[in-house]
Amino acid sequence: MSDGAAIWADAMIAAALAAIDPGAASVLLRAGAGPVREQWLDLLRELTPSTTAVRKLPPSISDDRLLGGLDLAATLQAGRPVMQRGLLAEADGGVLMAVMAERIAPSTIAHLTAALDTGSISIERDGLSLRAPARFGLIALDEGIDDERVSPALADRLACHLDFGAVARADLGESLFKSTDIAAARELLPQVRLSDDAIAALTTTAVVLGIDSLRAPLLACRVARIAAALDGGTDVAESHIACAARLVLAPRATRLPATEDDAGSNDAPEPCDDQPESEEDHSNDGPLEDRVLEAAQAAIPADLLKRLQDERAARTRASSAGRQGTAQKAPKRGRPIGSRRGEWRAGARLNVLETLRAAAPWQPLRRRTQPAGKSSRLIVHKDDIRITRFKQRSGTTTIFVVDASGSSALQRLAEVKGAVELLLAECYVRRDEVALIAFRGRSAELLLPPTRSLTRAKRSLAGLPGGGGTPLSAAIFAATELALAVKAKGQAPTIVLMTDGRANVARDGGGRSEAEAEALVAAKQLALTGIPVVLVDSSPRPQDKAAQLAGAMQARYVALPHADATRLSQAIMAQAGRG
Amino acid sequence: MQGTLMGIAFPFSAIVGQDEMKLALVIAAVDPKVGGVLAFGDRGAGKSTAVRALAALLPPMSAVVGCPYQCDPADAAAQCADCRARSKPGGKGKKPAALKAHEVPVPVIDLPLGATEDRVVGALDLERALAHGEKSFEPGLLARANRGFLYIDEVNLLEDHLVDLLLDVAASGENVVERDGLSIRHPARVVLVGTGNPEEGELRPQLLDRFGLSVEVKTPSDLPTRIEVIKRRDAFETDPVAFVAHWEKEEAKQRKRILAGRANIGSVKVSDRELEQAARLCMSLGTDGLRGELTLMRAARAAAALDGAKAVDDGHLKTVAPMALRHRLRRNPLDDSGSSVRVERALNELFAS
């Protein structure tokens, strides 16, 4: 059987499991739209009993629709607040299909995970308070390419992870299960027993595969139960545990199983009373663990190591995968600062509460002047309409562009790092965002997308290597691009460029003279955007190269001969104040 | 991980490990004045489970019937204006009317992400305003959480002005509403429990300092503990009722300990020597202000009361110092040596000399 066919076989089992108990066997499916995915979804639909409703969750769903809120039309009609049920509450008992799951907004993710955790939603908004059950199965369709991935918080809560990347059409086979099997398994599920050995085997396997989250083994336990029910048994057998390990644990592996000795040393033997007992346990279910591990190992993608490396690199860049890092702050709409009387046009946010409040005192009076028969309705006049005003907290994003090339010798780099850290601390106190671009060798790299998290900034800065050429122009272009993106989000960017100004690598790989000319061009383009720039000359003896560059980009020029971080931060703060 | 299953909370005593988090919560239950608990840590480490479990553990409290703030009928000083008016002797020498009381569970109110300010503090009651044109106050989450817990998941993602407001109320024990033409104050003695993941953004230091206790929660790393966690969790999910019944004895023990602690705390003595030790510790750590010392003493006293001790000793101080102080250190935000380590070091120095 080819790899693709093996994946497809497992995927069909996953579909059956999801049909039996969507709440426990939730699925994260990574695949582009296409015949393979279509066939799997068809299969799932076929197997899912008709009593189970399937709802779609679009990635850009608004909070109102997701959670429910005030139904404006009905509220005005009835003259009292009327609630509207949200998608999460409507999906209770059914299945929610999240399309383009990698693009779900962070706030939506937060609500989704909360609902998955508690099996209910609670709403405290628009002057209403409501708790509704929301136990649903989630099928997340991840259509991301490259490092675009579903939010880790959501992925952690989804049981079976499938990736159809390696499945070709030729691998597709006929379904192994019929809807009668599903019905029988649903009946059987409550009676299925899971032994302690099985739990231990799954937990151990998770540890050996380097899976930190405790949710993974827990989900695996549930999946093993459903697999047993699908098989028509009431006891979870080894094959079911192996199946759970393949579907739940293998895709989450962060390292390949170590040899016996290494695995032993990972257990961190702690001097506690039940040590002998637990050791005994180990020897007992050792073989079972090994067999489960083997099964899981067989399902680990062949390119795991490479993928891990990529991911590790991605993690140092963004710490959380995919769009999360950059989208973190996207839903910022500012803080509401009251409301004003106004017209309700497209784009304006009607403040329902204030509108009703404005209308409330007049109701008895207006009712008296209304023709009889219509008196029960709430009478809202145009004058009552209130529009919410937002105050956009114009946060600053400081983009650090750090020269990590060989011409800034290594100890200089350490000094620059120190200065950046001090500036970060300053930004941290002011709740500004920071981003970090480093350039060395042939290219500039965004090490840290705009963030407020110090932990992350610290980590990416610590891992910053030095040496290589100075691709200054690439760095200036990258910084300009990022600054414009930040500006588009409504933030005020400031660029802090730390370099000695001696470019020697052009973008097309050209030598020193081209590189310097290109850097000047890039600098002039940056000047056109009007984004405030501080150029910090980090060479031991400041020369006019850097000053010239600063002139071209209309930047404030600060020489940093002794890495005087206090002076530097003052210069930048002054710039930010001016900008 | 999920804290409840169909309304049944995971038993507090069945939580494996997480001793510091559990202790911090129990201390806050014994003496709500310590000022809230902040738990930062990994996802799925059982933060919310612990909070919900604690609330289920606490015995029901006696509350005035019909009072939106669950006022304590026995404690006149902490009652809302309404209850106080009703229990006061009438003008014409009437005897004070006894307030009707009933038993209610200790409230644990969730503050969902995206909650608006008017839901938190309370606002004009829309329905009555619309129907009768009358101005009345509709209590918010703070009212419902009075004498209980207000649980804020992802506190670091909450808007700053809301966190500010909550901390203010928690510190003063009173919610003052001045909006919509309403002017209302009501008791809101709330234990704030905030959780979060530092990877997703941090709390401003100003806010950090105002939480009483702070704990770091980690997923257990050794295998036997992990297996035990999964076993218990699985058993609970398979049959919550039987699982809770199995742990009832332990729960009763824990409950008794908390109640005894509450009864004892008034009589626990703090010697001058311990006060001096606490002050020295705070000085050597360079914590700002006196809040550190105060919280440290309060927490130590609660810990002593839980132990059934008559006075605070060095052991109590040592136990609670990390959670009372680690978030108050004037820190270089980029210093990698964790604040826990620094507190530990200062403790060792202090008690070695």
Position B199 scores a pLDDT of 67
Task: Give the number of other Cβ atoms within 10 Å of residue A377's Cβ.
Answer: 15
Residue from the list B161, B199, B224 with its beta carbon closest to the beta carbon of A335: B161
Chain B: closest CA distance from residue A325 (Å):
9
- What is the mean pLDDT of the segment spanning A117-133? 73
Among B234, B331, B336, B339, the strongest candidate for a mutation testing the A interface, having the largest count of A CBs within 10 A, is: B234
Residues of B in contact with A124 (CB under 8 A): 111-112, 115-116, 119-120, 141
- Please return the burial class of A365, using the count of CB atoms within 10 Å of its CB with bins 0-12, 13-18 and 19+: exposed
Longest dimension (CA), chain B: 72
Position A530 scores a pLDDT of 82
Asked if domains A1-177 and A396-578 share a fold, the reply is yes
| CA A316 – CA A324 distance, rounded (Å) | 14
Both tokens of B123, joined, read 């606002």
Position A260 scores a pLDDT of 44
| CA A309 – CA A314 distance, rounded (Å) | 8
Do B113 and B29 sit in the same domain of this protein? yes
CB contact B68 to A (< 8 Å): no
Do B35 and B155 sit in the same domain of this protein? yes
Task: For residue B184, give the CATH number of its domain.
Answer: 3.40.50.300
Position A320 scores a pLDDT of 33
Q: How far is C-alpha B154 from the chain's CA centre?
A: 16
Position A122 confidence tier, pLDDT thresholds 50, 70, 90: confident
Average pLDDT in chain B: 81
Which listed CATH number (3.30.565.10, 3.30.43.10, 3.40.50.410, 2.40.128.110) goes with A396-578? 3.40.50.410
Residue from the list B2, B119, B131 with its beta carbon closest to the beta carbon of A129: B119
| CA B178 – CA B117 distance, rounded (Å) | 12
Q: What percent of chain B has pLDDT over 90?
A: 13
Task: For residue B297, give the CATH number of its domain.
Answer: 1.10.8.80
User: Which residue would you say has higher pLDDT here, B292 or B201?
Assistant: B292
Looking at residue B98, what DSSP letter applies?
Answer: P
Helices A196-208, A275-299: inter-axial angle, 10-degree rounding: 70
Do B237 and B270 sit in the same domain of this protein? no
Interface contact flag, B3 A129, Cβ < 8 Å: no
Position B44 scores a pLDDT of 66
pLDDT of A458 over the 80 cut: no
Domain containing residue B309? 264-352
- What is the mean pLDDT of the segment spanning B99-119? 79
The conformational region for residue B278 under phi > 0 = left, psi -120 to 50 = alpha, else beta, is alpha
Convert the pLDDT of each residue in A467-484 to its tens digit.
778 888 888 989 998 998
Q: Please measure the distance between the N-terminal and C-terminal CA atoms of chain B and give it in whole angstroms.
A: 43
User: Quick check: helix, strand or coil at residue B69?
Assistant: coil
User: Residue B237: inside a domain, yes or no?
Assistant: yes
User: Quick check: helix, strand or coil at residue A158?
Assistant: coil
Do B164 and B300 sit in the same domain of this protein? no
| CA A440 – CA A445 distance, rounded (Å) | 9
Q: How far is C-alpha A402 from the chain's CA centre?
A: 27
Convert the pLDDT of each residue in B307-319 to its tens digit.
988 899 989 998 9
Name the CATH superfamily housing domain A1-177.
P-loop containing nucleotide triphosphate hydrolases (3.40.50.300)
Do B130 and B236 sit in the same domain of this protein? yes
Residue that finishes a domain, picked among B203, B226, B241: B241
Position B122 scores a pLDDT of 84
Residue from the list B44, B127, B141 with its beta carbon closest to the beta carbon of A214: B44
Longest dimension (CA), chain A: 89
Among A67, A203, A379, A433, the strongest candidate for a mutation testing the B interface, having the largest count of B CBs within 10 A, is: A203
Chain A: closest CA distance from residue B93 (Å):
40
Position A278 scores a pLDDT of 38
Q: Please measure the distance between the N-terminal and C-terminal CA atoms of chain A and give it in whole angstroms.
A: 63
Nearest to A424 by CA among B26, B334, B282: B334
Do B201 and B284 sit in the same domain of this protein? no
| CA B287 – CA A569 distance, rounded (Å) | 25
The complex's ipTM works out to 0.71
CB contact A64 to B (< 8 Å): no
- What is the mean pLDDT of the segment spanning B325-333? 70
| CA B239 – CA A438 distance, rounded (Å) | 54
Chain A window 464-523: which residues touch B at a Cβ cutoff of 8 Å?
A: none
Do B139 and B271 sit in the same domain of this protein? no
Interface contact flag, B230 A431, Cβ < 8 Å: no
pLDDT of A202 over the 80 cut: yes
User: Which residue would you say has higher pLDDT here, B119 or A524?
Assistant: A524
Do B14 and B124 sit in the same domain of this protein? yes
User: Which residue would you say has higher pLDDT here, B248 or B86?
Assistant: B248
Do B340 and B231 sit in the same domain of this protein? no
E strand spans, A392-468:
396-403, 433-440, 443-451
Position A447 scores a pLDDT of 80
- Please return the burial class of A404, using the count of CB atoms within 10 Å of its CB with bins 0-12, 13-18 and 19+: buried
Q: Kindly give the residue spans of alpha helices, DSSP state H, lying in B151-290.
A: 160-172, 205-208, 223-238, 240-264, 272-285
pLDDT of B286 over the 90 cut: no
Do B184 and B219 sit in the same domain of this protein? yes
What are the φ and ψ backbone dihedral angles of B36, each rounded to 5 degrees? 85, 155
Convert the pLDDT of each residue in A286-327 to its tens digit.
577 777 777 777 766 656 655 555 554 444 333 333 333 333
Q: Are A363 and B133 in contact (CB under 8 A)?
A: yes
CB contact B90 to A (< 8 Å): no
| CA B138 – CA A173 distance, rounded (Å) | 61
Convert the pLDDT of each residue in A7-19 to its tens digit.
898 899 999 999 9
Please provide the DSSP assignment of B8-42 as one string: EEPPGGG--S-HHHHHHHHHHHH-GGG--EEEEE-
User: Residue B74: inside a domain, yes or no?
Assistant: no
Domains identified in chain B, total number: 2
User: Residue B347: inside a domain, yes or no?
Assistant: yes
- What is the mean pLDDT of the segment spanning B188-198? 84
Q: Are B270 and B301 in contact (CB under 8 A)?
A: yes
User: How many H-runs (helices) and E-runs (strands) does chain A carry?
Assistant: 23, 17
Convert the pLDDT of each residue in A58-75 to its tens digit.
887 877 788 877 676 677
Chain A: closest CA distance from residue B179 (Å):
11
Position B97 scores a pLDDT of 59
Partnered with residue A69 across adjacent β-strands are: A84
Residue reference for tokens 């000795």: A261
Active site residue ranges of B: 291
User: Residue B229: inside a domain, yes or no?
Assistant: yes
Do B46 and B187 sit in the same domain of this protein? yes
- What is the mean pLDDT of the segment spanning A511-531? 85
User: Which residue ranges make up each domain of chain A?
Assistant: 1-177, 192-319, 336-391, 396-578
User: Residue B246: inside a domain, yes or no?
Assistant: no
Nearest to A138 by CA among A263, A24, A289: A24
Chains A and B form CB pairs within 8 A to the count of 169
Do B225 and B299 sit in the same domain of this protein? no
pLDDT of B251 over the 60 cut: yes
pLDDT of A179 over the 70 cut: yes
Average pLDDT in chain A: 75
Position A280 scores a pLDDT of 39
User: Residue B250: inside a domain, yes or no?
Assistant: no
Using CA atoms of A512, A513, A516, A519 in order, give the dihedral in degrees to the nearest 10: -100
- pTM equals 0.67
Looking at residue A189, what DSSP letter applies?
Answer: G
Task: Give the number of other Cβ atoms within 10 Å of residue A59's Cβ.
Answer: 14
User: Residue B115: inside a domain, yes or no?
Assistant: yes
